[in-house]
Amino acid sequence: MALVLTIIAVVAGAALAAVNAVTAPQIEKINADNLAAGIKEVMGSDKINVAEPQQKTATVAGKEKTFIVYDVTDDSGAKLGKAVQTSENGFGGELQVLVGFDQEGTILGYTILQHAETPGLGAKAGDWFQKENGEKRTVVGKTPGKVNFTVSKDGGDIDAITASTITSRAFLLAIKNAYDNVCVTDANTGATTQAKN
């Protein structure tokens, strides 16, 4: 019995390794294509050039946070702003957001890259804060440093997702942290980011 189970485990392991070797490059390409489409979406243009990603770390509330920053220019080389990958823990786990900022730090758009939020509740973050949903709900067109970028339940200017305050807080905090530690820091200090390995 032990020998049969060992043989089955070895064969199954080899099969999984083979499938992984075949599918890993395809999955990587799909992820890269999705990211490229996401950057175009959050920057509001298809005609952009995206620099190599830069990794920036900062200490936020005693924890080290990592932001992936993409400097974006138009076809003539004029700077349009930055697309920033940021994350925060929501209700169900890590909430990863890609947000586009113009040169002044105003939000051009956002997309949710990954989440584990409750379907029908926290999962609504991908649509809830978009521009077409009204001034009290949208983050698009707002500059986090010029408004109270928290949920209205906490005295802020933005309405939370109904029955999903924790997700809403995490979403807004992820974007605010990106603004504070990428847009503001770079503008005020001329700080540079490090190339991602």
Please write the tens of the pLDDT for every residue from 106-131.
999 999 988 867 676 767 888 899 98
The pairing of beta strand 79-89 with beta strand 107-114 = unpaired
Per-residue pLDDT at 107:
96
Q: Model confidence over 42-71: pLDDT tens digits?
A: 998 888 999 999 999 998 888 899 999 999
Confidence (pTM): 0.80
Domain ranges for the chain = 48-195
Please state, in angstroms and rounded to a whole number, the distance separating the CA atoms of residues 151 and 161. 9
In whole angstroms, how far apart are CA 5 and each of 9, 16, 60, 77? 6, 16, 49, 61
- Say which residue the tokens 């909430």 belong to: 95
